[in-house]
């Protein structure tokens, strides 16, 4: 599901233009060899797994500029939030029924002097 979600996010040219590189969206953690300053990290957690799987998606948005963090957060919520299930996100293996924003956390300053914002979503697959 994360691979599909990442592909879906990379189709958003406005979002990509705000990142350091066109592929600055990572799963679990940014690789140490990458020098990206503005990027997104996605983490997932299975909440229920019967007939319809439900996941909590956590997006960490990192940038040296607080306004860029807020702009990415706004675009991410605007692009992904689909409580009615009107957007279709699928490939041959996976079908995401809907994604709904739970909340957008505040922005904090990290020990590396970057800014970090956390946004939570629920995804049903």
Report pLDDT digits (tens) over 7-29.
999 999 999 999 999 899 999 99
> Mean pLDDT across the stretch 98-113?
87
Predicted pLDDT of residue 16:
95
Q: What is the pLDDT, as a whole number, of residue 23?
A: 92
Supply 118's token pair.
């956390």
pLDDT at residue number 56: 94
- Residue 43's closest CA among 110, 125, 124, 118? 118
Quick one: pLDDT at residue 73? 94
Q: For position 85, what pLDDT does the model report? A: 73
Q: Does domain 2-124 have CATH number 3.60.20.30?
A: no
The DSSP output letter for 22 is T
The model's pTM: 0.91
Given a contact cutoff of 8 angstroms between Cβ atoms, the answer to whether 63 and 36 are in contact is no
For residue 22, the tally of other CB atoms under 10 A from its CB is: 10
Q: Mind listing the pLDDT tens digit for each residue in 33-83? A: 999 999 999 999 999 877 888 999 999 999 999 999 999 999 999 999 987
């Amino acid at each position: 599901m994360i691979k599909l979600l990442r592909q879906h996010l990379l189709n958003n040219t406005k979002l990509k233009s705000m990142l350091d590189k066109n592929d600055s969206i990572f799963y679990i953690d940014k690789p140490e060899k990458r020098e990206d300053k503005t990027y997104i990290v996605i983490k997932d957690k299975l909440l229920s797994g019967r007939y319809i799987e439900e996941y909590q998606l956590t997006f960490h948005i990192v940038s040296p500029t607080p306004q860029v963090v807020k702009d990415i957060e706004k675009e991410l919520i605007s692009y992904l939030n689909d409580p009615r299930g009107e957007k279709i996100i699928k490939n041959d293996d996976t079908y995401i029924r809907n994604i709904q924003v739970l909340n957008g956390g505040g922005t904090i300053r990290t020990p590396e002097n970057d800014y970090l914002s956390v946004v939570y979503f629920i995804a049903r697959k």
